[in-house]
């Protein structure tokens, strides 16, 4: 799967952050559980992200029952899919539990001034990449070493020989279909990319092979920016709504993280570590 694929989550209780190598797999020989409720079937193999997602969703489901928002006979599944009633109850619970105030205009203006690049339209980059995908069972240390060695190799040969070292490496090493075309992704705008991939592409002005690996939900990328076209910064008045939504989203994420931490602290959780999940949910 290539990085310019966007994903969205309709249910905030199920939208977990997919950042910096949290796709490492965990063979669940014992069954992970929350307050005695199993999160998966015996012998199932899930990623760390999947286990955390199920644990947080189960915490919220159980809390919804305690608050009288969900019937006590709601049956939790071991497939990670909540019932329709449970999903609605979790939404209602979050509306009650989380306070997300409207940001002031002053706060919105400060955010806009400090994040001009986020409110620029028309900016695009011509990119190619080599993807080292994180898949179930992959040796992350070996994968990282291979990606770093490839980055060093293409940077050393960048523009210094008649051979296109980047295209050759993409063709032989990349786990993206674009490898067959030398890693070419074409011209991309921020909207064309997964957010974490876009942040790396558009945060800097350099052209050439980026000096460090780019992490995304898909794995590790060696990226070359072939060309850039500058965009036009939008005035505050034209993006006021977008700025407001961004700040409200940030407040929501912070409040949700704190709320889930409180729920986890009072729960009996087995065979899964929630303490190391710095940002459990993104929406």
The CATH number of the domain holding residue 181 is 3.10.50.40
Task: Please tell me whether residues 78 and 130 are part of one structural domain.
Answer: no
Strand order in 269-270's β-sheet?
37-38, 33-34, 269-270
**CB-CB contact of 227 with 126 (8 Å):** yes
DSSP code of 192? G
127 assigned to some structural domain: yes
- Does residue 157 lie in a domain region? yes
**pLDDT tens digits, one per residue of 58-99:** 999 999 999 999 999 999 988 888 899 999 999 999 999 999
54 and 13 in contact (C-beta within 8 Å)? no
Domain assignment of residue 118, yes or no: no
Residues 141 and 91 in one domain: no
Place of tokens 């067959």: 180
Interatomic CA distance for residues 148 and 156, integer angstroms: 12
CB 103: neighbour CB atoms within 10 A?
A: 18
Give CA separation, 87 vs 33, 54, 262, in Å: 19, 13, 20
What pLDDT is attached to residue 262? Answer: 94
Of residues 6 and 121, which shows the higher confidence score? 121
Same domain? 151 vs 99? no
Residue 282 domain-assigned (yes or no): no
Do 72 and 145 belong to one domain?
no
Q: Which of 213, 230, 247 is the endpoint of a domain?
A: 230
Is residue 3 situated within a structural domain?
no
- pLDDT for residue 114 is more than 80: yes
CA distance to 27, 46, 233, 258, per residue, from 281 (Å): 23, 18, 30, 11
Asked if residue 221 and residue 145 are part of one domain, the reply reads yes
Residue 117 covered by a domain = no
- The residues that bridge with 184 in the sheet, in sequence order, are 128
Same domain for 176 and 263, yes or no, is no
Give the least confident one: 17-26, 111-120, 214-223.
Answer: 17-26
For residue 143, tell me if it sits in a domain.
yes
Q: Kindly state whether residues 44 and 93 are assigned to the same domain.
A: yes
Is the pLDDT assigned to residue 237 strictly greater than 50? yes
* Residue-wise DSSP of 80-133: S---HHHHHHHHHHHHHH---PPPPHHHHHHHHHHTGGGGEES-EEEEEEEEEE
pLDDT in tens, 196-236: 999 899 887 788 999 999 999 999 999 999 999 988 889 99
pLDDT at 3: 53
Q: Note the helical H segments in 211-265.
A: 236-265
Closest C-alpha to 149, from 164, 169, 177, 172: 169
Res 19 pLDDT > 80: no
Residue 15 binned pLDDT confidence (cut-offs 50, 70, 90): very low
d(C-alpha 165, C-alpha 173), whole Å: 12
User: What residue numbers bound the domain in which 16 lies?
Assistant: 12-103+239-270
Of the candidates 19, 12, 5, which has an alpha carbon nearest to the alpha carbon of residue 278? 19
Whether residues 140 and 158 fall in one domain: yes
Assign 180 to helix, strand or coil.
helix
**Statement: residue 275 has pLDDT above 90:** no
Q: Are residues 171 and 196 in the same domain?
A: yes
Geometric angle at alpha carbon 66, from 60 and 72, rounded to 5°? 95
- 190 with 223, same domain: the answer is yes
- Statement to judge: residues 130 and 46 lie in one domain: no
- 235 vs 23 pLDDT, higher one: 235
* Section 234-250 average pLDDT: 94
Domain tally for the chain? 2
177 and 207 belong to one structural domain: yes
Q: What is the pLDDT of residues 141-188, one digit of tens each?
A: 999 999 999 999 998 876 555 568 999 999 999 999 999 999 999 999
The answer, yes or no, to whether residue 26 has pLDDT greater than 60, is no
Residue 109 lies in a domain: no
């Amino acid at each position: 799967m290539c990085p310019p694929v966007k994903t969205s989550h309709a249910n905030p209780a199920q939208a977990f952050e997919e950042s910096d190598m949290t796709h490492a797999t965990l063979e669940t020989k014992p069954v992970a559980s929350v307050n005695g409720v199993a999160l998966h079937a015996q012998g199932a193999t899930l990623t760390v992200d999947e286990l955390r997602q199920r644990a947080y969703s189960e915490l919220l489901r159980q809390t919804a029952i305690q608050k009288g928002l969900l019937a006590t006979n709601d049956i939790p599944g071991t497939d990670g899919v909540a019932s329709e009633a449970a999903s609605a109850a979790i939404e209602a619970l979050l509306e009650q539990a989380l306070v997300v105030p409207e940001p002031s205009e002053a706060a919105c203006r400060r955010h806009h001034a400090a994040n001009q690049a986020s409110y620029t339209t028309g900016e695009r980059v011509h990119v190619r990449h080599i993807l080292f995908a994180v898949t179930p069972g992959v040796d992350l240390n070996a994968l990282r070493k291979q990606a770093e060695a490839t980055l060093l190799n293409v940077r050393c040969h960048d523009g210094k020989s008649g051979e296109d070292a980047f295209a050759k490496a993409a063709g032989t090493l990349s786990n993206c279909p674009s490898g067959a075309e030398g890693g070419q992704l074409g011209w991309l705008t921020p909207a064309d990319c997964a957010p974490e991939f876009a942040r790396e592409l558009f945060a800097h002005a350099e052209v050439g092979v980026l000096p460090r690996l780019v992490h995304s939900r898909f794995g590790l990328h060696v990226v070359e920016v072939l060309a850039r076209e500058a965009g036009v910064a939008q005035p505050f008045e034209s993006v006021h709504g977008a700025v407001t939504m961004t700040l409200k989203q940030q407040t929501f994420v912070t409040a949700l993280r704190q709320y889930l931490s409180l729920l986890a602290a009072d729960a009996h959780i087995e065979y899964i570590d929630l303490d190391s999940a710095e940002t459990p949910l993104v929406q």
